[in-house]
Structure 1
């Protein structure tokens, strides 16, 4: 058992410092695998409509796309040279260096929610903007909870290398027939020297969905992070406490919540 798994095991019943406690056992932990497609335009219409409802159009200009249906990454595609987009499980297998980023800004034993994600097979996106690469069009992602009563676990890593500029729009949503569920999203952002990142996340969940984001950000000298979090519809419970570390002179972080 790895150190991360051991930490997670010890924190299985650790309540969060803030927010309503959620009974994880009341949600299904296994999801039916979904079919992978070559392009976002080939997704089912129900998924494209749900994405559009949170402002994510998957068929127009972008720097790439990532779509996850329940626990299956169905699209992970870059459309811009210098921007890398992969599902996190594949990225961890390909890059040994990612172990230096994995669970470094968010602790696996922070609470029962991070522990639950750490013990599950990794799913989520890996996005990297290469050194000096500046994008105009955003990377678009959609985290789609399509099964009733599912515990959807996500772990994302974003790396903006020195002097890069990256824009990401993420829509998190359910179709109209899914009202109850749990979404636990762990996100770690590494913004290197003089890099700029804007990240807009739009949530539109069913009224009985419980949402537990866990976000850590580190920003080096001259770097910036502009984070917009928009909740379009009420949910059963939400608890979030994103944390940014300004790790160098001139580093800037801005968090806006609507």
Structure 2
């Protein structure tokens, strides 16, 4: 921990983020740390179960290798069905239990990045710790649910995921807000480490309320031949989101894919994207986004940095506007410091073609049904390579969102 400049972190408590609306964190109280312990997911209250299911977290965990539920700022449930190859617990408990966890704690993320990381560091915020042992390939996904249940509060979480060498893991994380916690702030700092010849598929499905502020902070460190897939899905109304995860491809042959699927409803302000830093030879990256404005503000950012020979990467941002008053903006960036790199980008903003709607109506669909089908097809194009055991959650979310307001 001596590597961290404590004075710089304290200064960062007032440091605005590089992108997105500035949030006054002083208006929020710290979220509760004393929450009800839920032994079995089947015992979760009905209203919370509905929220969990809505973000792809299954209360029937028979086909999940692990499950974690955080309510406000404390863990409410933790179960592990793959103990031979998996360690799963809270971050603070992991720090107390295993001395080696300190090697990962605030190592991939600078706590002085901005006010959100600094606050999380200063409060020694808890979160989840997931470690997949070398040579172990999880049969079923690990699922986590981060739930905001307290109005006028901030949920500060610090998560660490380590997939060691020659291992693999699929994760689905559902983040949501109960109805009584509309005006609240979610901050999730996530540090991820992927070992040699290992893979991590990380799918986030978010469903917030229309005044909720969301500030995820994610950095991923990748070794030789590591593979990372990041899927980010936001289809329900939200107040403001700003997310820009970074993947550091430090090992030869590493590859990553960022897939974003967002709908900006009226009064929503969403600023998302991703950055891939290709630091080793023959690395590859792809950043794809599909975004729709139903009257809200939608910014899609993508940045590719090629620092080694043989690096190949592609960036694609596509958006459509379905309601006047909405706004979409694509901001692609390509940066290279090496001659032998190949990076491309494509960006497009438009509307649904009237002839497409008329064609589908001529086949017997109503206008609303035709628009819904086109929207569904557009969104599906935003996520590729999704594990089959996660596809049903995405399909259900798309089906719901394609119906519009």
Q: Is TM-score (shorter-chain normalized) higher than 0.5?
A: yes
Q: Given the superposition, is the C-alpha separation of residues 59 and 6 from structure 1 closer, same or farther in structure 2, using an over 3 Å criterion?
A: farther
1:240, distance to aligned residue in structure 2 (A): 1.0
CA contact (8 A) 2:143 2:172 kept: yes
Aligned partner of 1:231 in structure 2 is 234
Aligned partner of 1:71 in structure 2 is 73
Whole-Å separation in 2 of the counterparts to 1:170 and 1:103: 21
CA contact (8 A) 1:7 1:115 kept: no
Q: How does 1:109-120 map to 2 (within 5 A)?
A: 109-120=112-123
Whole-Å separation in 1 of the counterparts to 2:123 and 2:8: 13
Whole-Å separation in 2 of the counterparts to 1:5 and 1:76: 32
Structure label with greater radius of gyration: 2
Q: Given the superposition, is the C-alpha separation of residues 122 and 243 from structure 1 closer, same or farther in structure 2, using an over 3 Å criterion?
A: same
Aligned partner of 1:150 in structure 2 is 153
| Aligned partner (choices 88, 93, 96) of residue 96 of structure 2 | 93
Whole-Å separation in 1 of the counterparts to 2:77 and 2:31: 20
Whole-Å separation in 2 of the counterparts to 1:216 and 1:77: 26
**Is the partner of 1:198 in helix, strand or coil?**
strand
TM-score (norm 2): 0.62
1:163 matches 2:166: yes
CA contact (8 A) 1:5 1:119 kept: no
CA contact (8 A) 1:138 1:169 kept: yes
CA contact (8 A) 1:37 1:75 kept: yes
Q: How does 1:1-258 map to 2 (within 5 A)?
A: 3=4, 5-31=6-32, 33-60=34-61, 61-80=63-82, 81-258=84-261
Q: Given the superposition, is the C-alpha separation of residues 92 and 4 from structure 1 closer, same or farther in structure 2, using an over 3 Å criterion?
A: farther
1:166, distance to aligned residue in structure 2 (A): 0.3
CA contact (8 A) 2:221 2:248 kept: yes
What's the RMSD between the two structures over aligned residues? 1.5
**Is the partner of 1:16 in helix, strand or coil?**
coil
CA contact (8 A) 2:31 2:150 kept: no
Could you list the runs of 4 or more consecutive aligned residues of structure 1 that deviate by over 3 angstroms after TM superposition?
1-7
Deviation per residue, 1:68-113 (Å, 9 max, x gap): 0001101122111311110111001111211111111111000111
Structure 2 alignment gaps of length 5 or more: 262-405
TM-score (norm 1): 0.96
Q: Which has the higher contact order (CA 8 A, sep 6+)?
A: 1
1:200, distance to aligned residue in structure 2 (A): 0.3
**Is the partner of 1:180 in helix, strand or coil?**
coil
Structure 1 alignment gaps of length 5 or more: none
Q: Given the superposition, is the C-alpha separation of residues 250 and 29 from structure 1 closer, same or farther in structure 2, using an over 3 Å criterion?
A: same
Q: Given the superposition, is the C-alpha separation of residues 59 and 237 from structure 1 closer, same or farther in structure 2, using an over 3 Å criterion?
A: same
CA contact (8 A) 1:4 1:108 kept: no
What is the number of equivalent residue pairs in this alignment? 258
CA contact (8 A) 1:54 1:173 kept: yes
CA contact (8 A) 2:164 2:198 kept: yes
